[in-house]
Chains A and B, each alone.
Chain A
Amino acid sequence: MTSQIYSQKKFVPTPPEKGSFPLDHEGLCKKQFLLYASCLRKNAQDTSQCRQDAQNYLACRMDNNLMEKTEWSKLGFHDQSTKTDQKEPEVQKQ
């Protein structure tokens, strides 16, 4: 009892940095979610292998106003930003 009393730590929950995700009621990003889920299943749940699909899902949310637009580097996608830049000229060409 004494050790429990003295070693009891107070857990102070910190809110998430960017708040709460808006709900995707209409399933706008369902496709990207399924792609990400299948990628995890293929790579034995290793998230490092599926960062591109995660970025695609977040990009879909940003495009559909389900997430605040932020720089990719501030979300931890450093190496992916060049790929995104590479994709842009293709879009422009189309």
Chain B
Amino acid sequence: MMRSLCALRGQCQQLFRSSIRPQNSVHKSQQFWRMKSTDSPEDAARKLRAKSTLYYITAGGVLIVGLSYAAVPLYSIFCQAYSYGGTTTQGHDAEKVEHMKKIEDRVLKIRFNADIGSSMRWNFKPQQYEIKVAPGETALAFYTARNPTDKPVIGISTYNVIPFEAGAYFNKIQCFCFEEQQLNPHEEVDMPVFFYIDPEITADPALETCDTITLSYTFFEAKEGLKLNFPSYAKPHAASA
């Protein structure tokens, strides 16, 4: 009897368990369906937010790069408009010369150099090898050119300013450069250079220790149909065959 009762209980338990399991599976499937339905809008929202973030970051990057490129000319325009950082306005200005103030505590030494081209036959030299000039004050210097030949010679000159950074502050009011000058046979002429040093040279940190400026003029002969002679060591490429 006891054995039969135990067997009956076992069967009852088995039936109970088998009845419970399918219910669990049904619940799980329902939950899974619910999760699926709830995931769709959440996923869409997340994707939308991710896309928006990506777009904003990309736009920010492009804007920064663009502003970086535009900063250089914009800063230059700003400096020229307000003379910020010692940037001078472009071009010459007679009124600027009129209202220029002489700087007393700094004196620059201007050296003068004269050169001629290889085919030029003038005698060209500076009348003074160096002068002392205060920034903001106009100064006058002289070169002398002489034509020792028996025919008129037309010369044209270029100039260099050393150091290079000082060239921006070396302003010539009147000189003899960039124009053809004709000297008649055996004629000697004094050529003046009227210039001033911009007083803003004192605000340039690159020229803080610069106290000497060299002005170099080079005269070339200006004539048409110039033919350069080949040097003797230059041989043409002739075919030996």
The interface of chain A, by Cβ under 8 A from chain B, is: 9, 11, 13-21, 23-25, 27, 29-30, 33, 36-37, 40, 44-48, 51, 54, 57-58, 67, 70-71, 73-78
Contacts and interface: CB of A to CB of B under 8 A. Distances in A.
Given A24-B190, A33-B142, A17 B137 contact: no
Interface stretch (B33-41, B91-99, B230-238): B91-99
Nearest to B192: A21
Interface string B177-191: 111011110010111
Interface string B76-117: 000000000000000110110110101000010000000000
7 nearest A-B pairs in the assembled complex, by CB-CB distance: A76-B138, A17-B92, A16-B172, A20-B179, A54-B140, A18-B174, A47-B139
**At the interface, is chain A mostly helix, strand, loop or mixed?**
loop
Interface stretch (B48-56, B123-131, B209-217): B123-131
Given A45-B128, A48-B137, A67-B174, 13 more contacts: A17-B172, A21-B176, A23-B181, A23-B189, A24-B190, A33-B142, A33-B192, A37-B128, A45-B131, A46-B107, A47-B137, A74-B95, A76-B137
Given A48-B137, A74-B94, A18 B176 contact: no
